[in-house]
Amino acid sequence: MEQKFVTIDGRDIPIEGEKNLLEVIRKAGIDIPTFCYVSELSVYGACRMCTVEIEGRGLQTSCSTPPEPGLKVKTNTDAVRQIRRVALELILANHERECTTCGKSTSCKLQDLSRKMGVDKIRFRSIKKPMSVDDDNPSIVRNPNKCILCGDCVRMCEEVQGIGAIDFAYRGHDTMVQPAFGKGLDHVQCVYCGQCTRVCPTGALTPKSEINDVWKSLQTAGKTVVVQIAPAVRVALGEAFGYQAGELTTGQIVAALKMMGFRKVFDTCFSADLTILEEGNEFIHRLTEGLPLPMFTSCCPAWVKYVEQHYPEMIPNLSTCRSPQQMFGSVAKGVFAAEMGLKKEDMIVVSIMPCTAKKFEAKRPEFFTDGIADVDHVITTQELAQMINEFGIQFRNLKPESLDMPMGFKTGAGVIFGNTGGVMEAALRYVYEKVEGKTLENPDFHEVRGEAGIRECEVKLAGKTYTLAVIHSLANAKEIIRKIKSGEKKYHFIEFMSCPAGCINGAGQPVNFDPSYRKNRTKGLYEADKMLQLHKSQDNPYLKELYATKLGEVGGEKAHHLLHTHYNARRRMKGKSMVILDGQQTDKLEIRVCVGTSCYLKGSQDLLHHLARHVAAQGLQDQVQVKATFCFEKCDKGPTIKVGGKTITHCDVAKATAAVDKAVEDLKKV
């Protein structure tokens, strides 16, 4: 077949399946600048930084121009340079330029391109007024003063995660990106996955830092501070110090943490092994006892929050297992604190995670025991790199040190948790031996590995066939749940991860613009598995001892108390109710109707209108106030209304009318 070419700055570059001219130019070794172009998202073409000059067509954005044979492209003409510089100056004019104190200072695209373009002055004045910073949630800081309107966060949240917690608002020079109704991220349906922070090219969206809290804990007399390192951290932290993505730096991380003053340095892979024993046992129990299937993994807190908010009727399908992070905290304070001669309130547990949602998870009330958090602080991989730099540690010169026992020992099954498909594979390594009753010689299950966002496979266990799925990204999760609910698909066990490619691509990992970084991090974890002598969680000798001396049998009463939890329906939108009908009297019967998504789809809007008309028709406006509210957290039982102090679920017009009439009559008797 004849090869087709595009001429780039006088050189013929072959077209080999690239979706736009930008990709062909970059293949030619020319790094065209962009803000709004992210390969995994739709083409937006807003920033104009990728403008090139095409013979016969003039100035064009290369991200939105398909590669056509015979095109003659120039990437560095006077006109091209001028339009890029003007675009940068206009962005900078309205941008908060406190670069030295910005969390994205070393990885900010705006700062980097301004330097590369030689922008040394700004000819335009700002027309924006300073806006307040949204930092009331535990995971993400949103600073609208640093937003450049590239739309990357909007498209990530909508296209990849299928949530749409943030979007463009207003028009013209008033345009901004914000959550619905101008609320904070903690008052909308954000699940704190943080993928918006990963693609944001500036400091407009960043993970919320807990560094100062950790320093304070390390310097507090009478407190023993221990730390756990998540699987994905070991193949990414090195990138902040010049290592290639995927290089293992576990030993250097341990050395750095001990220099900082952490008493014990443990491994979340230990509790990942623990999770597999409990989760695998739960799966077998569900199969044999006829409990809700498919079973969903519950390791990812963003995914769990997504189910609580969007599909509360499927909460019974979630594994009751705590995540490895929370299992670690529970065991550390509930078991090992006493063995170290400590009261649990005198042990501080710090987690190093690739994930911003883990910050939210640690603060859930379900994970407090007697008012004490199981995990006290969560810092991301990025924050750990900053702490190492703050302390003045020369990371590349560190001699590797060993993790502390017993919670520093792990098998390869715990290590691969950081990859999409890793939890499923680790579970299969356990379930196979339990169901088949024989040793699994080859622990690898390649059928659950890969990059596709939706992967399906079948496995045979004891003569029966089971259908499994591995899902990453919440938009894919939404599609799979739709098919499950419609009966189109039937599964027995599903692994869900919110972040594309799993935890190795969590929002707290170092920013990396190399397109191969995901594959390299993934490869690093699978290689780490191979370098270990044990590959199945059930072979971890320290876990065997833990069950024998402290927890009893897998899935038993003591283990269930420490290692399992429960989840509840969670409102998607927080805020004040909207008054639909109101009179003059101050002491009124209050009727509240939920108009959240779940109830709305079940007819609550019609119910609201009927009640407003009924109250007006009966002349009760001065005695009754009708409000629309967002949620009673009974999404699986909607439509839901509240008449006075009485909550009515599965409500219809007849029930609502009768309840209002009775409540009014009761008021007359008082």
Task: Quick: pLDDT tens for 75-124.
Answer: 999 999 999 999 999 889 888 888 888 889 888 999 989 998 888 888 88
CA atoms within 13 Å, Cβ hemisphere of 50: 26
d(CA 560, CA 553): 10
d(CA 125, CA 545): 68
Instruction: Give the burial string for 152-169 (b: 16+ CB within 10 Å, else e).
Output: bbbbbbbebbbbebbeee
pLDDT confidence of residue 276: 98
Angle made by CA atoms 101, 103, 105, in degrees to the nearest 5:
75
More confident residue, 589 or 621: 589
Picking from 43, 357, 41, the residue whose alpha carbon sits closest to that of residue 192 is: 357
d(CA 634, CA 647): 10
More confident residue, 617 or 209: 209
**Ranges in the chain annotated CATH 3.10.20.740:** 5-76
Span 362-380, average pLDDT: 96
> For residue 1, what pLDDT band results from cuts at 50, 70 and 90?
low
pLDDT confidence of residue 372: 95
CA atoms within 13 Å, Cβ hemisphere of 213: 15
**Looking at the annotation, which residues are catalytic?**
279, 282, 299, 319, 358, 361, 366, 503
Neighbour tally for 132: CB within 10 Å = 10
d(CA 75, CA 65): 14
pLDDT confidence of residue 277: 98
Average predicted confidence (pLDDT) for the chain: 93
Out of 3.30.70.20, 3.30.1540.10, 3.40.50.1100, 3.40.1280.10, which CATH number does the structure's domain 90-208 have?
3.30.70.20
**Ranges in the chain annotated CATH 3.40.30.10:** 578-669
pLDDT confidence of residue 582: 56
| Whether the predicted pLDDT of 571 surpasses 80 | no
Q: What is the CATH number of domain 578-669?
A: 3.40.30.10
> For residue 391, what pLDDT band results from cuts at 50, 70 and 90?
very high
> For residue 632, what pLDDT band results from cuts at 50, 70 and 90?
confident
d(CA 479, CA 156): 16
d(CA 453, CA 198): 18
Span 119-141, average pLDDT: 90
Tell me: cis bond preceding 138? Omega within 30 of 0 counts: no
| Whether the predicted pLDDT of 583 surpasses 70 | no
**Ranges in the chain annotated CATH 3.30.70.20:** 90-208
- Contact (Cβ atoms closer than 8 angstroms) between residue 204 and residue 143: yes
- Contact (Cβ atoms closer than 8 angstroms) between residue 499 and residue 509: no
pLDDT confidence of residue 105: 85
Angle made by CA atoms 500, 502, 503, in degrees to the nearest 5:
120
pLDDT confidence of residue 83: 92
DSSP β-ladder status, 5-8 and 51-54? unpaired
* pLDDT tens for each residue of 225-277: 999 999 999 999 999 999 999 999 999 999 999 999 999 999 999 999 999 99
Length, in residues, of the chain: 670
More confident residue, 507 or 655: 507
Out of 1.10.3720.10, 1.10.10.10, 3.30.420.10, 3.10.20.740, which CATH number does the structure's domain 5-76 have?
3.10.20.740
| Whether the predicted pLDDT of 581 surpasses 60 | no
- The DSSP-derived string for 540-551 is -HHHHHHIIIII
| Whether the predicted pLDDT of 140 surpasses 80 | yes
> For residue 408, what pLDDT band results from cuts at 50, 70 and 90?
very high
**Highest mean pLDDT range out of 84-88, 174-178, 315-319, 633-637?**
315-319
Percent of the chain with pLDDT over 70: 97
d(CA 38, CA 489): 32
pLDDT confidence of residue 515: 86
d(CA 209, CA 189): 22
pLDDT confidence of residue 117: 87
Percent of the chain with pLDDT over 90: 76
| Whether the predicted pLDDT of 577 surpasses 70 | no
**Ranges in the chain annotated CATH 3.40.950.10:** 212-391+410-563
- Contact (Cβ atoms closer than 8 angstroms) between residue 369 and residue 333: yes
In angstroms, the first-to-last Cα distance of the chain is 90
If DSSP codes are grouped into helix, strand and coil, which group holds residue 8? strand
pLDDT confidence of residue 586: 54
Cross-strand partners of 267? 229
Out of 3.50.50.60, 3.40.190.10, 3.40.950.10, 3.30.479.10, which CATH number does the structure's domain 212-391+410-563 have?
3.40.950.10
pLDDT confidence of residue 124: 85
> For residue 129, what pLDDT band results from cuts at 50, 70 and 90?
confident
Span 391-418, average pLDDT: 97
| Whether the predicted pLDDT of 41 surpasses 80 | yes
d(CA 634, CA 626): 20
Taken in order 29, 33, 37, 38, is the CA torsion positive or negative?
A: positive
| Whether the predicted pLDDT of 18 surpasses 70 | yes
- Contact (Cβ atoms closer than 8 angstroms) between residue 509 and residue 193: no
> For residue 135, what pLDDT band results from cuts at 50, 70 and 90?
very high
Span 174-196, average pLDDT: 94
- Contact (Cβ atoms closer than 8 angstroms) between residue 537 and residue 341: no
573 Cβ neighbours under 8 A, 6+ residues apart: 180, 183, 187, 188, 189, 596, 630, 631
More confident residue, 276 or 4: 276
Span 16-37, average pLDDT: 93
Span 399-422, average pLDDT: 97
